[in-house]
Amino acid sequence: MRKTLIKKFNNEFDLINFFIDSLKKFNDKSKIRIGVSGGSVSEFLINNIEFLESYCKDNLVFIQMILIDERCVKFENNLRNDKKYINELKNSKYITFHNPFKNPKLKYLLYPIEKFMNKYNELDIVLLGFGLDGHTAGIFDQKKIFSEYDYIINKDKDELKRISFSLKYLNNSKKIVLFSTGNTKYEFFKKIRNKKDYILNNLNYSQCLFLIV
C-alpha cells in the first residue's frame, strides 16, 4: 500500500502555505516546473498568485506552470484549459505558463509535444484535480492507463477529444499531488483509495490535499 499524506484544510491561506513549503526542496533550482490539471487546481493557484510570486522573489527562483491536458477545440473556445492561466499570468515577473498543446488540430499536435518532451524529461511537481468517476489529468478511458506513449488522446464524458500526458510520463515526475475541494470529493477518495480500477490510483501520488470550507 502506498504511503500517502491525506490532509484537509479549512482555508486557502493554510493550504497555500503548505504547498509553498513543499516547493522549498527545489530551491536549489533556478526554475521549478509544475504540471497542472483540473478546474479546482487552476482556481486555487490563480487565487494565490501573490503568495507564489512572493515566494519566488524571496527565494530567487522562477516557476513554470505546464498544462497537463487540453481539450481539442479552437483557441477562441472558452472550454480551453489554458485561458485562465494566460490571462492571469501575462504580467507576472516570476511565473510563466506553457501549453505544449499549442495547436488543438490533431494533425499538428506532435511537434510542440515532442519538443517539450525532449526539453524536459520530468516535471518537478504535478498538481492534479480529479473527478467523481476517478478520472484525472484529462484521462477518462481505462484502456489508456497502460499506454507506453508519453501522451494519449481520448474522449471525455461529453465525447470531446482531449490530449493529455500519459500516466507513464506523469509517474516520472519527482512529486505528484492530488488536489480537490469539498467534502464530497474527500469522502469519495477515502472509499476508492488504492483501488486500481480507478484511473487516479494508477498515479504514484504522495499527497492528497483537500480544501473544505
Cβ neighbors of 54 (< 8 A, separation 6 or more) are none
Range of the domain at 197: 5-23+30-208
CA distance 211 to 44: 9
What local confidence, expressed as pLDDT, does residue 67 receive? Answer: 93
In a domain, 170, yes or no: yes
Cβ–Cβ under 8 Å, residues 18 and 211: no
The string of pLDDT tens digits covering residues 164-187 is: 999 999 999 999 999 999 999 999
C-alpha cell at 105: 488540430
Give the H or E element holding residue 8.
strand 5-9
The mean pLDDT value of the chain amounts to: 89
What local confidence, expressed as pLDDT, does residue 156 receive? Answer: 86
In a domain, 213, yes or no: no
**Average pLDDT estimate for 115-127:** 80
What local confidence, expressed as pLDDT, does residue 103 receive? Answer: 59
* Residue whose cell numbers read 507576472: 92
**Average pLDDT estimate for 108-113:** 53
What local confidence, expressed as pLDDT, does residue 113 receive? Answer: 66
**CATH number of the domain within which 10 lies:** 3.40.50.1360
CA distance 199 to 207: 16
| Residue 108 pLDDT class (50, 70, 90 cuts) | very low
What local confidence, expressed as pLDDT, does residue 77 receive? Answer: 82
CA distance 208 to 146: 22
Question: How many folded domains does the chain comprise?
Answer: 1
| Residue 112 pLDDT class (50, 70, 90 cuts) | low
